[in-house]
């Protein structure tokens, strides 16, 4: 069985780069970078950027760097940096070079001195409040402060002393001297450096000053020879500053920034700040909780690198912000697992069925195809004996209309096995069903019963062979499509987003599966062995996705 041909979806950046290559721009080279700040785990929105940056490089025989944008040491950590590398690799991408914005601190400092010498940057010693007051508003221009006309010598001296650590945090900043009346606030003498006496994960205490994002990013791109600097739309207003910095300085490369729409996914939040909040407020267990929209969360949930890359291909790349429905992501994994996942039987809420017309020691071995449409997936043996488990849901004492599963006095087919009839319900003193007593029709193995129709087919597990397992069922974490705009998470969290079922019984072959193995549990959905908790003694499965779209209802 083969997958449907992928359709080429609109990607204006692909067209733009193709045109550049054909025109011989940047000597026909394509060099991109994925530039995360190591201040949190990557989420599915980052995957869009990763697929785009690495994808364009590979499509045009170019290169793509992984660059840590590590200029804000307060919130950055080595744990995050390691996790980011692992996630990018897991998604299937190899970076050409691993770089850090902090690798360029010395060069960035030299470039800043050059701007000062050109009279295009100055040290401003105003307080934060004064700076704010002087900046103006969207309708009113900014006002020059008392430090704007400092001499080059004074600026160089102060900036060197900022670097030497002579001043306290917040006492001075270095600003570009551009245009205080610009309609673009980013050009009103933006800050280039601030004093921050904080230890950096890589440079330690070497630097008491740190460069700002806008100043760092364009120069890092230029230093690395990036040709196409792809970023999300919120940076559109920053592009004039990006270009301004590069125009003033002589840099090795001439990168160009192009913006695309960020991914917004319904029923979740995609911002590191919000994800940190989910973890810290204990709405989830961890960064890799299977309900998290992090790459590592999706991985643990049972998504594959292929499915995430396929999703990024399906949504395309445009200039218009739009919300993407969760079903599009789910369909990517569903389509893959439908083709690839072996079928198995698992009973989540077991009820014992005793086949009363079989001997106590009766056993039979039945051969099951691992995949109904794929003979090459092979077969496996499943035991059948006097006692089996079926799911509580598949029996009804008072059946609703059109119920086609097992009822008292009715028949149902056991998947790949016989038709059975329920003759008796055995209950405990509290009225709970403990056993269903059934008889089987020995003529119905792989055959229709004669003279009557049996419509229902249910899954089952042999009680002799079945292995106890834990199955974790997941529903959306939020109850509203845009939880990010809610006042608090508590009001929009789905209290039933995780249901841990501990009495499940599964086929024996499931217990010995390696972590991160994917299966379809017949009639129940697609599941994966949990990469942290699954083992032979206690098999643990996460439901990745249901068999069919459940959003439609």
Neighbours of 102 (CB within 10 A): 24
Judged by CB, which is closer to Mg ion: 37, or 266?
A: 37
Size of the site for ligand ATP (CB under 6 A): 15
State how far Cα 114 lies from the chain centre.
42
**Pairing mode of beta strands 518-521, 525-529:** antiparallel
Q: Could you count the other beta carbons within 10 Å of the beta carbon of residue 365? A: 8
Please work out, in degrees rounded to the nearest 5, the angle formed at the alpha carbon of residue 527 by the alpha carbons of 523 and 533.
140
Q: Is 290 left (phi over 0), alpha (psi -120 to 50) or beta?
A: alpha
Question: Are 264 and 315 spatial neighbours (Cβ–Cβ below 8 Å)?
Answer: no
**Given the complex with ligand ATP, which of 48 and 413 has the nearer CB atom?**
48
- Smallest separation (angstroms) from ligand ATP to the CB of 69: 6
Q: Where are the beta strands (DSSP E) in 121-278?
A: 121-124, 173-176, 191-195, 209-211, 228-232, 256-260, 264-265
Kindly write out the interface string for residues 197-236 of this chain, putting x where it contacts ligand ATP by CB under 6 A and - elsewhere: ----------------------------------xx----
Q: Which residue's Cβ has the minimum distance to ligand ATP?
A: 45
Q: Build a one-symbol-per-residue string for 22-41: x at contacts with Mg ion by CB under 5 A, - elsewhere.
A: ---------------x----
Q: Which of 13, 270, 353, 473 binds ligand ATP (CB under 6 A)?
A: 270
Q: Whose Cβ is closer to ligand ATP: residue 48's or residue 163's?
A: 48
What is the token pair recorded at 65?
């760097």
String of contacts with Mg ion for each residue 360-399, x by CB under 5 A: ----------------------------------------
Lay out the site mask for Mg ion across 37-76 (x = CB under 5 A, - = otherwise): x---------------------------------------
Measured CA to CA in angstroms, residue 551 lies from 191, 321, 475, 499, 546 at distances of 47, 22, 11, 19, 10
Whole-angstrom distance, CA of residue 506 vs CA of residue 344: 8
The encoded tokens of residue 99 equal: 């770089």
262 binds, among ligand ATP, Mg ion, none (CB under 5 to 8 A by kind): ligand ATP
Q: Which residues are catalytic?
A: 37, 262, 272
Under the binding rule (CB under 6 A), the answer on residue 272 touching ligand ATP is yes
Q: Does 48 bind ligand ATP (CB under 6 A)?
A: yes
Antiparallel, parallel or unpaired: β 228-232 and 256-260: parallel
Min dist CB 257 to ligand ATP, Å, is: 10
Q: Which partner from the list Mg ion, ligand ATP, none does 272 bind, CB cut-off 5 to 8 Å by kind?
A: ligand ATP
CB of 496 to ligand ATP, least distance (A): 27
> How far apart are alpha carbons 220 and 211 in whole angstroms?
11
The rounded distance, in Å, linking the Cα atoms of 114 and 99 is 24
| Contacting residue, 107, 125, 184, 271, with ligand ATP by CB under 6 A | 271
- Would you tell me which residues interact with Mg ion (CB under 5 A)? 37
- Would you tell me which residues interact with ligand ATP (CB under 6 A)? 35-37, 45-46, 48-49, 69, 231-232, 262-263, 270-272
């Amino acid at each position: 069985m083969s997958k449907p041909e992928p359709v080429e979806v609109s990607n204006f950046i692909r067209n733009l780069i193709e045109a550049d290559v054909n025109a011989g721009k940047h000597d026909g080279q394509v060099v991109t970078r994925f530039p995360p700040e190591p201040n949190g785990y990557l989420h599915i929105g980052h995957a869009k950027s990763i697929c785009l940056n690495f994808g364009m490089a590979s499509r045009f025989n170019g290169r793509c760097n992984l660059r840590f944008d590590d200029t804000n040491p307060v919130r950055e950590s080595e744990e995050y940096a390691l996790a980011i590398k692992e996630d990018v690799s897991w998604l299937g991408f190899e970076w050409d070079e691993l770089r850090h914005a902090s690798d360029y601190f010395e060069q960035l400092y030299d470039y800043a001195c050059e701007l000062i010498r050109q009279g295009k940057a100055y040290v401003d010693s105003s307080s934060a409040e004064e700076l704010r007051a002087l900046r103006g508003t969207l309708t009113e221009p900014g006002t020059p402060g008392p430090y704007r006309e400092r001499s080059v010598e004074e600026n160089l001296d102060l900036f060197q002393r900022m670097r030497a650590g002579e001043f306290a945090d917040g006492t001075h900043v270095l600003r570009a001297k551009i245009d205080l009346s610009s309609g673009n606030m980013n050009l009103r003498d933006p800050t280039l450096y601030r004093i921050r006496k904080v230890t950096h994960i890589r440079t330690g205490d070497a630097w008491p000053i740190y460069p700002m994002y806008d100043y760092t990013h364009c120069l890092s791109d230029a230093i690395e020879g990036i040709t196409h600097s792809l970023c999300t739309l919120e940076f559109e207003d920053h592009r004039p500053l990006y270009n301004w910095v590069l125009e003033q300085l002589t840099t090795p490369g001439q990168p160009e920034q192009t913006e695309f729409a960020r991914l917004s996914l319904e029923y979740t939040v995609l911002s590191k700040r919000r994800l940190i909040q989910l973890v810290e407020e204990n709405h989830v267990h961890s960064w890799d909780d299977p309900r998290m929209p992090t790459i590592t969360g999706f991985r643990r949930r049972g998504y594959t690198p292929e499915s995430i890359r396929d999703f990024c291909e399906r949504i395309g790349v445009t200039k218009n912000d739009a919300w993407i429905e969760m079903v599009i992501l789910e369909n990517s994994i569903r389509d893959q697992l439908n083709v690839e996942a072996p079928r198995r039987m698992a009973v989540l809420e077991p009820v014992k069925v005793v086949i009363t017309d079989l001997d106590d020691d009766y056993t039979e071995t039945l051969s099951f195809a691992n995949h109904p449409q794929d003979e090459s997936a092979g077969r496996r043996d499943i035991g059948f004996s006097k006692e089996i488990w079926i799911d509580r849901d598949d029996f009804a004492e008072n059946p609703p209309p059109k119920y086609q599963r097992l009822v008292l006095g009715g028949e149902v087919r056991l998947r790949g096995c016989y038709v059975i009839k329920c003759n008796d319900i055995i209950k405990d003193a509290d009225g709970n069903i403990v056993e269903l007593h059934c008889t089987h029709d020995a003529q119905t193995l792989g055959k229709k019963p004669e003279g009557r129709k049996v419509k229902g087919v249910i899954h089952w597990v042999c009680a002799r062979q079945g292995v106890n397992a834990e199955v974790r069922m997941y529903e959306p974490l939020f109850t509203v499509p845009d939880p990010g705009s809610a006042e608090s998470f508590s009001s929009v969290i789905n209290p039933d987003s995780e249901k841990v079922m501990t009495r499940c019984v599964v086929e024996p072959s499931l217990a010995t599966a390696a972590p991160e193995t994917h299966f379809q549990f017949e009639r129940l959905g697609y599941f994966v062995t949990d990469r942290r908790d699954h083992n032979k003694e206690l098999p643990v499965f996460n439901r990745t996705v249901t068999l069919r779209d459940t959003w439609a209802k």
